Chain A
Amino acid sequence: MRAALVVLAGCGVSATPDPGTGALLQVAGAQYRPGPLPAPSGGPDAVTVTPRHTEVQIGPTRERIDGVLGVGTRAAVLGIAGVDGGWILAAGSPTFEQPDNPSVSALIGVGHGLAPGPFTLVLYGGDADGQFGAPASFAMTAAPVPPPAGELVISLDWDGLADLDLHVVDALGGEAWADDPNTWVPPPAGEPVDPTAYLTGGRLDHDGNASCHHDGEPSEHVIWTLPPPAGAYVVRVDARAMCGDASAAWSVAAYRNDQLLGAARGVATAGDVELEPHGAGAGVLALRFSL
């Protein structure tokens, strides 16, 4: 019966409901097109496809590409050569430089499933009958997002919407976290302040998923760019808000000059959010180590 329904439903052209979240190429605002990329079948040839950079970071969708399409093109399909799954865009107005050719412009990104290294971006043009021509292509490189560099880097990574906070207490007792992002403790009021002294502390790079504003790939790092003080360090993870998620699996790691000092994993739940107050000293113990 299911097969019969599929045949009946197939009596017409319809687009997939799959949002293409798992595709290696991501194109903002486009219709996902599963399956092999189009085979040239007499449609208009695409002229060029040009990104702003030859290297694209794995993860974010923010690399703009521009394409010039053949005369008579109505639709464009973007994809990665040799990889199933493309994205359909409507052909747009010609540019000033190519007044006879429709154009296309989009923001693209590549997913974590794509291995770092070279890949070929391809752009096909299709006519009003859905016939495609030869593609235009551009050789690009997928590059992983480089980890933060520093003498000592303590990182917190997690998935989902939850607002987690990394707390790091250094050997001198200073604590860095979202509301006080440096372990360096300033001198009491009235005493002179060394304008470069704050650089000696471990500094939080940003507040991930702050106030439930989803970052996409939430993380936080506390980074020492100068040699850190010797002694015991404590790393805690505080669940500030779950933001609708039932749980959030997190991982913590500490690196000294790119050498792993220690790592830990855990799961934050709504019960952790109730462990108030969420100020200095908050959170569950994730890691202890000494330098």
Chain B
Amino acid sequence: MTPIARADPESLRPAVTHHGWQLDLTGYVQADAVPWDQGSVDELAPGTNQPLNQERFVIPRARLRAEARRDAVSASIDLDGNTLAGATARLLGAQVGWTYALDGEPLVTVSAGLAKIPFGAEVPALERDKPFLEPPAMSRGLFPGAYDAGAQVQGRYGLARWAFAIMNGAPVGDAQWKGRDPSASYDFVGRLGAEVRAPRRLRFEVGVSALTGRGLHPGVTPTKDDIQWVDDNQNGRVDATEIQVIPGSPGEPSVSYAHNALGADVAVHWCVCALGQGTAFFEAAIATNLDRGLIYADPVAAGRDLRQLGIAAGVVQDLGDHAMVGVRYDRYDADRDAMDREGALLVNTHQVFSTLAIMASGRWHDARFIVEYDRQRNPFGRGDDGAPTTRAADRVTVRAQVGF
């Protein structure tokens, strides 16, 4: 699946055994420093009044996981703390599960709770093991927060890997609903894959993913009559003719709409004796009305379906036992049918987010030190030619991570 930063083989963890239950406590802390960010200014964002400074020390993730097992039954709790928007702590994941094993292999695991969304390779992967600092824009747009509540079945048999889930369809990072499910409908999501081992220590992973479900366009509650001043003659004074009555509205009902996605992922792992393990990966997804993180896709408000397309590809390579380098390019078009004005004409444009991430890291046991340069593109600026262009956002991030 997703390339994994190699750590020490699993050893004895601090564990407590009580009434037949084995409790494991694990966790990790990431401490970031951003010494240079092209988009950082000592100003407040108009509208939100939030600071625009990005050159700072920040804790993006400080996570603690408690996992209890007794025979085939298990439960886990993941807690997350961060300082991205001020110090905060929250419940990140919580699951109960039952596993049926065959010949020591977990053939089927049934679980319910707040868990990773099983779509593609990047979204379900654990953040502590990812070689790059942050997920690609495709994942941040389509599956913001990566966690959703629901019930899941996953397992493996021979070459086959599967994971299917019924979920609320409201990821924890949903920009509008903030993880609260606004509708009674569920999202059906899953990934079917295979893992093939080949000669010369090659290993291939492939998978296809799909999602279908419904989102909700929020209605409007009834409003009262109101008055508004429009300074028609712009003299700065209220004249009798400038007072308008804004009549109250009886409200509008909320409307649900369909959203769906298809994805494919492939990864090749190798091992070069002198250097160590390496991985090349590629992932792509097409979606309709699914963006919930970057450019919110609401087809009712837009009056048309919003189609998304995202890809991510990269290579990571160990350099001996204590170093790794990698590069990843991702590109995400949040609205493939977007229009922009060009003089008297409306022309097609693309709301593209892309990042070229160049990473180098060192490791010692479960500690990692990562330096990453992200060259980012976005659709938020406007250039001298009047066309949408990138608002400068390149950055360098230094991260220290310690797991336990």
Residues of A within 8 A of B (CB): 2, 5, 8-9, 12-19, 21, 30-31, 33, 38, 52-53, 57, 60, 62-64, 73-77, 88-94, 102, 126-130, 132, 145, 161, 244
Contacts and interface: CB of A to CB of B under 8 A. Distances in A.
A82 to B, nearest CB: 20
B381 A14 contact: yes
A15 B386 contact: no
B158 interface: no
A270 B396 CA distance: 38
A78 to B, nearest CB: 13
B40 A17 contact: yes
A16 B392 contact: yes
Contact of B382 (A53, A88, A93, A94): A88
B162 to A, nearest CB: 43
- Using C-beta atoms within 8 Å of the partner chain, give the interface range for chain B: 35 or more
Nearest to A145: B236
B386 A90 contact: yes
A131 to B, nearest CB: 9
A17 B381 CA distance: 8
A147 to B, nearest CB: 13
A33 B391 CA distance: 11
Interface string B338-376: 001111100000000000000000000000000001010
Contact of A19 (B36, B43, B231, B394): B43
Contacts of B341: 90, 92-93
B383 A75 contact: yes
B389 interface: yes
Given A90-B341, A129-B385, A130-B383, 11 more contacts: A8-B394, A9-B375, A13-B384, A14-B381, A14-B391, A15-B380, A16-B392, A19-B43, A19-B52, A92-B341, A244-B49
8 contacts: A13-B383, A15-B381, A16-B392, A19-B43, A19-B52, A62-B231, A75-B383, A94-B343
Contacts of A63: 234
A88 B44 contact: no
Given A21-B44, A57-B236, A90 B52 contact: no
A93 B393 CA distance: 31
B390 interface: yes
Nearest to B236: A57
A234 B380 CA distance: 52
A17 B52 contact: yes
Contacts of A16: 381, 391-392
Contact of B45 (A12, A19, A90, A102): A19
Contacts of B373: 5
Given A5-B373, A75-B383, A92-B343, A12 B41 contact: no
B386 A126 contact: yes
Interface string B31-53: 00000101111011110010010
A6 B319 CA distance: 28
B255 interface: no
Nearest to A51: B234
A128 B391 contact: no
